[in-house]
Structure 1
Amino acid sequence: MTNREPTPVVPRPQVPHRDLLQLEVLTDETQLRADITRLRLERNAVILAHNYQRPEVQQIADFVGDSLGLSRQAATTDADVIVFAGVHFMAETAAILNPGKTVLLPDLRAGCSLADTLTAQGIRDWKARHPGGLVVTYVNTTADVKAESDYCVTSGNAVQVVESLPPGVPVLFAPDRFLAAHVIRVTGRQMDVWDGACHVHEAIRPEDVQGQQAAHPDAELLIHPECGCSSRILNAIPDLQLYSTEGMIHRARASAAQEFIVVTETGMVTRLQRDVPGKTFIPVSRAACCEYMKMITLENIRDSLLTLQPRVTVPDAIREQALKPIERMLAIG
């Protein structure tokens, strides 16, 4: 038998108590909130957050809303700096409406799978085949696409905008095919439809809805028209109403129901819980989560206010053309 040195005793690291770890996280978040509050005042900044943002981001925002509401806020703000807690096309829209202001997107990686399905050249090609036609594009598009469009719309006013168009004129509705199907169903207006979709909404299946209905039989459905499940669900429930995110707020307040199945991106549950307290909101699927929306954090909001970067700008030639369909949208409703 050989002699060997005794194995040294390595002291185990001391792990802070769970309550202390939670306290550290809360302290960090408290400091971030304090930094954001101070910088927001120093910069004369406004923070606009989309309904799909993280709960803590929605909590520190000056305004939380859908694309139409955010566009209206961006158009009327007297702030010098606009921090957009959303995705790139939203910050571009704010820059189009506010050429003299600093528009910040805290993480430039925050893009949009739906916006990526449509190009300005695609619209130009359609217009070449349909002289005199009108192009209606969802606000979820890039600035150069808006510059080629006649009208912008959101899910909240798409029906109203299409109903205002002169009859007999060819219309392209782009890029969301599910929203287009909803508009055609409501208005009866036949349109050419671009074959695009949001990857999160497209992935929501009728089976997801049916599973939650089985688990919550008394719950009312709140379905967004971008959802891939909407057409099949409507075939089963013909009189079912679809709602924009703001429409969901209004419906939840007015309804006698106490439970709702929220069929859109999971962040909308946060907004509903805040604005309609006392009722229960069930996400249709925890997987219905937009990774682009969740790229905005308290940390990068604080950093963007500190450095005034990353900044989103739109070239003047594009901005002037893109402003026209946005203004038409805002004028209609």
Structure 2
Amino acid sequence: MFVSLQADRLYERVRSVILPAEWSAFAGDIDAILALKRERNAVILAHNYQTPEIFHGVADIVGDSLALAREAMKTDADVIVVAGVHFMAETAKLLNPGRTVLIPDLRAGCSLAASITAADVRLLRQRWPGVPIVTYVNSSAAVKAESDICCTSGNARRIVESLGVPKVIMLPDEYLAQNIAAETGVEIITWAGHCEVHERFSAADVHQLRAGHPGIVVLAHPECPPEVVAEADFAGSTAAMADYVTRERPARVVLMTECSMSDNIAALNPDLEFVRPCNLCPHMKRITLPKIRRALETMRHEVTIDPAIAAAARRSVERMLAI
């Protein structure tokens, strides 16, 4: 099996999570993508839920959705390829309006972002006039544009408390809002939106993990139901979970989140045991090496946002970044 020297060097990063035969099948696309990046002056942003051959093989910037877009601002790239879902590509475009932003598959959506529309936000504002609307960055640009301020799973509590009001509307993730409400004295009006990955975890899952794996450390994303977060040893954003593993180095750990997150952290920590009762995100998995290669070859699919929507959405994001 032939693997190029370039791909061979990259394989050292993922040896513990990808078999040699699998890597051999990836090598041709990896070499082509690396060459196309140089030709196009492009960078690839890969979310934590991307598969290891993308995350460790071709990505230039990795992390959670907002961090990707912000880090891209520091580069001199002409083209940004987002290995993630559509709202992430929109956010990258919002913060990098002068760059060409591509998403390899237009069908890479998000159940959470799809749960609410701009019209829904306008109706909520009519029902609760004067109540600030805090919108999770896992939402469309149109929804961000109708909001007062954005938040991430990592800064949501700080954003809500910074407003200094007794009541806020927090969209669209119901469980994230409930988990933040439990940490604050603020009344939070929620929206019944859920992430199809995180909503499937239950407190019973945590109990079974502890029974079957004594001493296991359970990390949960705050998009999980509140009863899961209550049973976990630590709850935090994807970045916070990765930092926890690196800092605390639990001998046996489980991440209640998307499967590839565990794979990517395990590749960096091959001496730790990762138990994986994970759930796959079908939208993230639409992004593949061949599709990234095709995006760079054809410069498709370009992400554009109506200028009026972009200006309003950017204000909501910038208000968050200023706090």
**Which TM-score applies when normalising by structure 1?**
0.87
Q: Note the residue ranges of structure 2 that are not aligned, 5 or more in a row.
A: 2-18
Out of 295, 304, 307, which is 1:316 matched to? Answer: 307
Counterpart of 1:56, as a letter, is E
Report the Cα distance in structure 2 between the residues aligned to 1:265 and 1:172, rounded to whole angstroms: 27
> How far apart are residue 231 of structure 1 and its match?
2.0
CA separation in 2, counterparts of 1:328 and 1:278? 41
Instruction: Note if 1:254 corresponds to 2:247.
Output: yes
Per the alignment, residue 231 of structure 1 pairs with 227
Matched, 1:44 2:34: no
Per the alignment, in what secondary structure is the counterpart of residue 234 of structure 2?
Answer: coil
CA distance in 2, matches of 1:62, 1:120: 33
Q: How many residues align?
A: 305
Q: What corresponds to 2:87 in structure 1? A: 89
Report the RMSD for the aligned CA atoms in angstroms.
1.9
Partners of 2:184 and 2:264 lie apart in 1 by: 29
CA pair 23-134 structure 1, distance change in 2 beyond 3 A: closer
Please say which of residues 240-249 and 132-141 is displaced more in the overlay.
240-249
Decide whether aligned partners of structure 1 residues 23 and 153 sit closer, same or farther in structure 2, where only a CA change above 3 A counts: closer
Q: Report the CA distance shift for 1:32/1:243 in structure 2 as closer, same or farther (over 3 A).
A: same
Decide whether the 8 Å contact of 2:220 with 2:229 is kept in 1. no
Name the structure 1 match of 2:194: 197
Residue 301 of structure 1: aligned partner? 292
Q: Which residue number in structure 1 is paired with residue 13 of structure 2?
A: none
Distance 1:283 1:141 in 2: 27
* Helix, strand or coil at the partner of 1:199: coil
**TM-score w.r.t. structure 2 length?**
0.89
Gaps of 5+ in 1: 1-15, 17-21
SS at match of 1:284: coil
Determine the C-alpha separation between the residues in 2 that align with 1:160 and 1:276. Answer: 31
Q: CA 1:331–1:212 in structure 2 vs 1: closer, same or farther (change >3 Å)? A: same
Secondary structure in structure 1 of the residue aligned to 2:53: helix
Q: Contact conserved, 1:46 with 1:82, CA < 8 A, in 2?
A: yes
- 1:66 corresponding residue in structure 2: 64
Deviates more, 1:289-298 or 1:149-158: 149-158
**Which residue in the other structure is 2:138 paired with?**
140
Q: What is the rounded CA distance, in whole Å, between the counterparts of 1:252 and 1:196 in structure 2?
A: 29
Contact 2:51 2:264 (8 Å CA) reproduced: no
Q: Which has the larger radius of gyration?
A: 1
Q: 1:195 to 1:25 in 2, by over 3 A?
A: closer
| Deviation sequence 1:88-114 (CA, Å, 0-9, x none) | 000011111122111000011100000
SS in 2 for 1:76: coil
